[in-house]
């Protein structure tokens, strides 16, 4: 009885940890994409200015 309930919370715990990690990795990936676009844009701008 107790065990069943604890199983649920155990999964909540693992899920919480997993979600936090996933959110962070996704935010890193998004930032990476944004940076690559930004670098291309600025490089093109520098070329134009030359």
Partner 1 sequence: MTQTRDRILFLLAAVCAVLLTVNFYKIFLILPDEANQGAIYRIVYVHVPSIFTGFTGFFVALAASGAYLATGKLKYDAFAAAVTEVSLAFATIVLATGMIWGRIIWGIWWAWDARLTTMLVCWLIYAGYLMLRRAIDEPTQRAKLSAVVSIFGCVDILIVWKSIEWWRTQHPAPVLSIRDGGGMGPGMEAPIYWNWLAFMCLAAILVMVRTRQEQRSREIDSLRRMAHSY
Least Cβ distance, residue 46 to partner 1 (angstroms): 5
What is the dihedral angle through the alpha carbons of 30, 32, 36, 42, rounded to the nearest 10 degrees?
90
Least Cβ distance, residue 11 to partner 1 (angstroms): 9
What is the dihedral angle through the alpha carbons of 40, 41, 45, 48, rounded to the nearest 10 degrees?
70
Least Cβ distance, residue 29 to partner 1 (angstroms): 9
Residues that bind partner 1 (CB under 8 A): 2-3, 6-7, 9-10, 12-14, 16-17, 20-21, 24-25, 28, 31-32, 35, 38-39, 42-43, 45-46, 49-50
């Amino acid at each position: 009885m107790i065990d069943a309930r604890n199983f649920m919370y155990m999964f909540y715990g693992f899920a919480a940890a997993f979600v936090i990690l996933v959110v962070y990795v996704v935010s890193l990936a998004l930032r990476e994409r944004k940076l690559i676009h930004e670098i291309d844009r600025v490089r093109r701008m520098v070329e134009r200015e030359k």
